[in-house]
Amino acid sequence: MTRRFFHPFAMLIICTLLLVGIAQPLPTTATTSPHEPAAPLVQAANTLGTVQIEAGWNATCVINQAGQLYCWGDPSTIPNDLGTVRQVSVSNAHTCAITEAGSLRCWGGNQYGETTVPGSLGTVNQVSTGGNHTCAITDVGSLYCWGGNWFGQTDVPTGLGAVRQVSTGWDQTCAVTEAGLLRCWGRSMYGDPINIPSDIGTVRQVSAGRNHTCAITDAGSLRCWGYSSDGETTVPDSLGVVSQVGAGEYYTCALTNVGALYCWGRNAEGQSSVPNTLDTVRQMSVGRDHICVITEAGTLH
């Protein structure tokens, strides 16, 4: 199994450059090196406002309002003929993006066929990249998964029905149906992240992490389960109503309905330490051990 790890010092360099900034011309394409400055890319993305932020295993990508994709870290290479996109998903070694026309493009590591898009896929509404597999939802709600399948993570359950959201973890997959039912399949070891609580009811969003899973119920409550070596499944009592959740490697972050960001679990790289000066947040994304947000003002952090 191909598993890439990004040296903490390299990530520290990137985060420092994000905060300090470097005066140099803005690039028109993404950097291919995780050691090149990220600040110009952030400036370029923020020029027209950022509409999506995606923190991957060792990389980060953003899409601005013009549909331009910017990535830094590893992997960060973007196909020259990609054009404008409306959603991106980044894993440890591969990236997938949905073009404005609804076509799915994937690139990067392809050891298990994770970037080989099925020819019959058609128009896509959402894509999610896992450890070594990929899942996509078509415009009619059909779920397709492909790539590494040693734990059955790409075996879409028979009779699943139309799906409105999918989240791929390292070796597991979770999907929310149009009826709000949650289904998870794949690896069941290390805390059993696919063992959904029987009393969870209907949900509006799910996030599959390395060894744990979190879901937001229709009432806005957050439920987490699976491996919890660092307390990543212990939801804070003061959390309240949640609008978005992200399950990282050994930590969790949640965004409340008033734009407050909470993070808990492992904090070796500071991934659970929310800055005191952070403004109200409207979108967030968690990676292996880093988190990125878009504030209500449209600024990327």
Q: Give the per-residue pLDDT at 55.
A: 94
Confidence of residue 121 (pLDDT cuts 50, 70, 90): very high
Q: Chain-wide mean pLDDT for the chain?
A: 87
Tally of domains in the chain: 1
- Domain membership of residue 164 (yes or no) is yes
- Domain membership of residue 251 (yes or no) is yes
Residue 174 in tokens: 């979770």
Residue 299 in tokens: 């600024």
In DSSP notation, the chain reads -------HHHHHHHHHHHHH---SPPPSS--S-TTS-SHHHHHHHHHT-EEEEEE-SSEEEEEETT--EEEEESS----TT---EEEEEE-SSEEEEEETTS-EEEEE--TTSTT---TT--SEEEEEE-SSEEEEEETTS-EEEEE--TTSTT-PPTT---EEEEEE-SSEEEEEETT--EEEEE---SS-TT---TT---EEEEEE-SSEEEEEETTS-EEEEE--TTSTT---TT--SEEEEEE-SSEEEEEETTS-EEEEE--TTSTT---TT---EEEEEE-SS-EEEEETT--B-
Predicted confidence (pLDDT) per residue in 42-67, tens digit:
666 566 677 899 999 889 999 988 99
- Domain membership of residue 129 (yes or no) is yes
- Domain membership of residue 3 (yes or no) is no
Q: Give the per-residue pLDDT at 44.
A: 61
For residue 89, give the nearest of 24, 119, 133 by alpha carbon.
133
Q: Give the per-residue pLDDT at 46.
A: 61
Q: How far is CA 89 from the centre of its chain?
A: 6
How far is CA 119 from each of CA 105, 123, 134, rounded to the nearest angstrom? 11, 11, 14
- Domain membership of residue 264 (yes or no) is yes
Predicted confidence (pLDDT) per residue in 132-185, tens digit:
999 999 999 999 999 999 999 999 999 999 999 999 999 999 999 999 999 999
Residue 198 in tokens: 């029987």
- Domain membership of residue 2 (yes or no) is no
CB atoms closer than 10 angstroms to residue 55: 25
For residue 91, give the nearest of 1, 196, 214, 183 by alpha carbon.
1
- Label residue 220 exposed, middle or buried (CB < 10 Å: 0-12, 13-18, 19+): middle
- Domain membership of residue 19 (yes or no) is yes
- The CATH number for 177's domain is 2.130.10.30
146 vs 255: CA distance, rounded Å: 30
User: Comparing 22-31, 113-122, 274-283, which segment has the lowest mean pLDDT?
Assistant: 22-31
- What average pLDDT does the segment 114-143 reach? 97
Task: Count Cα neighbours of 265 within 13 Å in the Cβ-side half-sphere.
Answer: 30
**Model confidence at 26: pLDDT above 90:** no
Phi and psi at residue 168, in whole multiples of 5°? -105, 125
∠ CA 133-265-258, nearest 5°, is 90
134 vs 144: CA distance, rounded Å: 8
Phi and psi at residue 50, in whole multiples of 5°? -100, 130
For residue 163, give the nearest of 198, 194, 137 by alpha carbon.
137
**Domain around 195:** 8-295
Confidence of residue 6 (pLDDT cuts 50, 70, 90): very low
- Domain membership of residue 1 (yes or no) is no
The pTM (predicted TM-score) of the whole model is 0.86
